[in-house]
Amino acid sequence: MANDNQPANTPTIDLGAAVRDAVIASLVMLGLAIPILALKTEQNMDNRLVLEPRWHYVWIACALVFAVRLALTLFIWNRKAKITVAKGEQTPTIMSGLVRVLKPFSGRAGLLFLVAYPLLALWLVGPQGSIKWIDNFGIQILIYIMLGWGLNIVVGLAGLLDLGYVAFYAVGAYSYAIIATQVIPATFPELGVWSFWICLPIAGLLAALWGVLLGFPVLRLRGDYLAIVTLAFGEIIRLVLINWVAFSNGYAGISGIPRPSFFGIPFNASEEGFAAVFGLEFSPIYRTIFLFYVILALALLTAFVTVKLRRLPVGRAWEALREDEIACRSLGINTTNTKLTAFSIGAMFGGFAGAFFAARQGFISPESFVFIESAQILAIVVLGGMGSLFGVVISSIALVGGIEILRELDFLKQIFGPHFDPAQFRMLIFGTAMVVMMLWKPRGLVSTREPSVFLKERKSISGSLVKEGHG
Amino acid sequence: MEVFVQQLVNGLTLGSIYGLIAIGYTMVFGIIGMVNFAHGDVFMVGSFIALILFMVATMFLGLPTVAALIVVLVLAMALTGLWNWTIERVAYRPLRGSFRLAPLISAIGMSILLSNLIQILQGPRNKPLPPMLPGSIHIMGEDALATAISYKQIVIMVVTVVLLAVFWWVVQKTPLGRAQRAVEQDAKMAALLGINVDKTISITFVMGAALAAVAGVMYLMYYGVVNFSDGFVPGVKAFTAAVLGGIGSLPGAVLGGLLIGLIETMWSAYFTIDYKDVAAFSILAITLIFLPSGILGRPDVEKV
């Protein structure tokens, strides 16, 4: 009779089964770990490989898997029944909390913070310390935000999975580098100080042209095939840059790329330099701050264009295309033009970012444009929630900024020993984040969509409904 | 002529390795319609497992090379199969029924994860082994033009042919193969008829990984060196092979592998070695654009 008092949706805990399950999981871990984790291959003095056993790691890994699996079975998966009952209500998590806290910053406040950021950094840590904060954090993150927003047009809005986006980044960077180091000095050397501002639109246009060129043949493909072909195109462009030495100088790359000038005033210590003209003491910080504002302006331009385009017929056609290509065609949308515009506009912003990258580094080589870079930008778009501008910002800060912070954490060295280098875990974290994100929230962090066109009242739609035709 | 025959032998050897990897792509694509982007990295994990097991077998157990290779082949197939089983279980199975691109993105993440995991666990440097199975059979020509087929190449081709025959028999004649083909045609219907769809898909992943492990052992034996980044390019080339042969078709994957291997070696021999990867990637793009169903594949019918 006592059993009748129990609520129906409390499952009984079968400890024996849970333990058995956890033992199986740890045995699988043992099988996975046996050769790869247990024995490390090292080259000895004679350059011969020897094996270094490290069985203790295997036992730690197996114990961890056992404990985690047991805890999950007993405490988390056990409650599944209750959660399904309360379907529809969003369960609060750390991430959704973070999104909620940061949400007010997506508007004017965030913009104000970004504009004030270099001055804030300057004021807080002084000119010496602030270069690191403005350059490594500010500019680096903004480049990725801009690339993410550019790719977002292709992946997030038009739903075309592009694994070769870095190709357009490379086209932009090489256009600027080659025009500024070869073409302008040979034809109009007096325009040298203006070269960045002349080349920026050219780099964007060339990248857009390449977007159309590469977009044309792949229009008939969709989904997975499209992704693989764009990957192939990205790799072809990189391999050509490596091998066509006369054009791109191969692996050695192009150096001595002119830096951008402040509307014709260069940032150097000379009489005509920025510091001298404005009567300031010379310091490299001015250029860094200037570069920060340039990339901020470029990124905001990308966001502005994206927001505006979403309301235009072409933007609505992109989103319709993402949802259902066949329905789109039936409604008379020209899918060829729709896809090509998405490809070329996305590519153009990639080209702008590439030109900026070349100008900031002063040196480029094919090493900067590998597939992993494309995957990183894609990870940023996917984690942010495809189609969400604000999501891209959060995931860029989390992934790029988080990894920069990892470098700064010296105390980790004291825990894990002096050879511990957190930066080597960077790509591992990226990969894991992509998998975990797909499992946990396939729609990304910000998965609600604001409708671009609405009747009377603006309702936001949960992203999980969008793909199923409710949006 | 001598150069041509030598390149033919080399191309067929390389093509056998690509063909073995391509089968993994083609089987998974056939059964769940997903490009298993991490398959190239599973191949790389397989060759690392083989490397370590081979060192254990020769250094600690003192087995002769041939015996060691046989033991390593069997164990590497089993362990790599376990790896792919776990990957499917953790990263792909929960995404069945999710939106279209979710499994592909998860597989890309898995690919990055695997190569970086191996980089961290085994170090970023090349792992060379002393050459094994030296010696060759002389076919034709003298001195500089001497053409020979090495024992390694013979082993690779024979193992590939034997394993293909075995897998062909499994897919065509056993209840397991019948279940696989049924799931490939219509997973829902197969489930209604009492086929355990999840188990069949898991076994497909294990089989694909086992063949990738064989390719890993062969790769290690042929080149004598592996690196954590060795999964990407052979993976893309094997995918090209699968597409060229007609994705979903087993004989197509092998045919495509042999073609890609031949094109790559001939290109390196007669044109320029610098652009051999460009050639492979271009073939991939051209095939997907102009011949998406491949040489032996069935045309893809689009249902609304």
Residue B300 lies in a domain: no
Over 60: is that where the pLDDT of A319 sits?
yes
Query: Using 50, 70 and 90 to split pLDDT, how confident is the model at A434?
Result: confident
For residues A282 and A300, the model is more confident at A300
Residue A386 lies in a domain: yes
The shortest C-alpha distance from A467 to chain B (Å) reads 7
Does A31 share its domain with A157?
no
Would an 8 Å CB–CB cutoff place A254 in contact with chain B?
Answer: no
Contact A431 B59 (CB under 8 A): no
The pLDDT of residue B185 is 85
Tell me, yes or no, whether A360 and A422 share the same domain. yes
User: Model pTM?
Assistant: 0.84
Do A25 and A135 lie in one domain? The reply is no
Within-domain flag for A237: yes
**Please, which pLDDT band fits residue B102 given cuts at 50, 70 and 90?**
confident
Distance CA B287, CA A259 (A): 43
Rounded to the nearest 5 degrees, what angle is found at the Cα of B44, between the Cα atoms of B41 and B47?
A: 155
Number of domains composing chain B: 1
Domain count within chain A: 2
Is A337 part of any domain?
yes
A381: distance to nearest CA of chain B, Å?
Answer: 11
For the four alpha carbons of A309, A314, A318 and A319, in that order, the dihedral sign comes to positive
Contacts of residue A171, defined as CB under 8 A and 6 or more positions apart, other chains included, come to A203, A206, A207, A210, A237, A347, A350, A351, A354
Give residues 217 to 236 of A whose Cβ lies within 8 Å of B. 217-218, 220-221, 223-225, 227-229, 231-233, 235-236
- Do A142 and A46 share a domain, yes or no? no
CB neighbour list of residue B18: distance below 8 Å, 6 or more residues apart: B215, B234, B237, B238, B241, B256, B257, B258, B260, B261
Cβ of B275 and A243 within 8 Å?
A: yes
DSSP string for A121-142 = HHHHHHHHHHHHIIIIIIIHHH
Whether A6 and A127 map to the same domain: the answer is: no
Same domain, A269 and A381: yes
Rounded distance, CA A308 to CA A273, Å?
38
What ipTM does this complex have? 0.83
pLDDT of residue A37: 82
Examine the domain organization and report whether A74 and A161 are in the same domain. Answer: no
Compute CA B15 distance to the chain's CA centroid, rounded to the nearest angstrom.
10
CB contact under 8 A, B109 and A235: no
* Residue A302 backbone dihedrals phi, psi, to 5 degrees: -60, -45
**What digits encode the pLDDT tens for the residues B21-74?**
999 888 888 888 888 889 999 999 999 999 999 888 888 887 888 888 889 999
Task: For residue range B196-232, list pLDDT tens digits in order.
Answer: 999 999 999 999 999 999 999 999 988 888 888 888 8
> φ, ψ for residue B231 (rounded to 5)?
-80, -35
Tokens of A358: 């070349």
The verdict on residue B23 lying in a domain is yes
Of the residues A85, A113, A144, which one is the last residue of a structural domain? Answer: A85
Q: Is residue B113 part of a domain?
A: yes
Domain end marker among A85, A113, A130? A85
pLDDT tens-digit series, residues A46-98 = 777 777 788 888 888 888 888 888 888 877 766 554 444 444 444 445 555 66
Lowest mean pLDDT among A23-32, A422-431, B118-127, B282-291: A422-431
Q: Is B304 inside a domain boundary? A: no
CATH number of the domain that residue B99 is part of: 1.10.3470
- Secondary structure (3-state) at B129: coil
Q: Which of A48, A217, A223 is facing B289, going by the closest CB pair? A: A217
Across chain B, mean pLDDT equals: 86
B106 touches chain A (CB under 8 A): yes
The CA distance from A309 to the nearest CA of chain B, in Å, is 24
Whether B238 contacts B255, CB under 8 Å: no
Chain-chain contact of A224 with B35 (C-beta, under 8 angstroms): yes
**Domain boundaries, position A216:** 121-466
Looking at the structure, do residues A74 and A149 belong to the same domain, yes or no?
no
In A52-107, where does DSSP find H-type helix? 55-71, 80-85, 94-102
% pLDDT > 70, chain B: 97
Report pLDDT digits (tens) over B111-158. 989 988 998 888 888 888 877 777 777 777 777 677 788 888 888 999
A14, pLDDT greater than 70: yes
Q: Which of A8-22, A286-300, B53-67, B175-189 has the lowest mean pLDDT?
A: A8-22
Render B58-123 in DSSP notation, one character per residue.
IIIS---HHHHHHHHHHHHHHHHHHHHHHHIIIIIGGGTTS-TTHHHHHHHHHHHHHHHHHHHHH-
Q: Does the beta-carbon distance from A31 to B284 stay under 8 Å? A: no
User: Is the confidence at residue A13, as pLDDT, over 70?
Assistant: no
- pLDDT reported for residue A469: 38
Q: Say if A114 falls within a structural domain.
A: no
Close Cβ partners of A442 (under 8 Å, ≥ 6 residues apart): B95, B98, B99, B102
Same domain, A37 and A135: no
Is residue A42 less than 8 Å (CB to CB) from chain B?
A: yes
% of residues, chain A, pLDDT over 90: 10
Taken as a whole, chain A contains a residue count of: 471
At which of A68, A85, A102 does a domain end? A85
Is A101's pLDDT higher than 80? no
- On whether residue A92 sits in a domain, the answer given is no
pLDDT tier for residue A467 given thresholds of 50, 70 and 90: very low
Residue A281 counted as domain residue: yes
For residue B44, what pLDDT is reported? 93
Q: What is the CATH number of the domain that holds A218?
A: 1.10.3470
Cα nearest neighbour of B225 on chain A: A49
**Residue pLDDT, tens place only, A330-345:** 889 888 888 899 989 9
Look at B51 and A41 and tell me if their CB atoms are within 8 Å: yes
Structural domain containing residue B54: 2-290
Q: What is the pLDDT of residue B288?
A: 80
Structural domain contains residue B149: yes
Q: Which of A438, A440, A462 to mutate to test the interface with B (most CBs of B within 10 A)?
A: A438
Phi and psi of A41, rounded to 5°?
A: -85, 130
Q: Are residues A164 and A270 in the same domain?
A: yes
Q: Is the pLDDT reported for residue A123 higher than 90?
A: no
Residue A76 within a domain: yes
Provide the number of CB pairs (under 8 Å) joining chain A to chain B.
169
pLDDT at res. B16: 92
Whether residue A396 is found in the same domain as residue A347? yes
Please check the confidence at residue B240 and state whether its pLDDT lies above 90: no
Chain A partners of B104 at a C-beta cutoff of 8 Å?
Answer: 161, 223-224, 227
Mean pLDDT of the region A167-179: 91
Q: Write down the pLDDT at residue A228.
A: 83
| DSSP character at residue A251 | G
Residue B299 lies in a domain: no
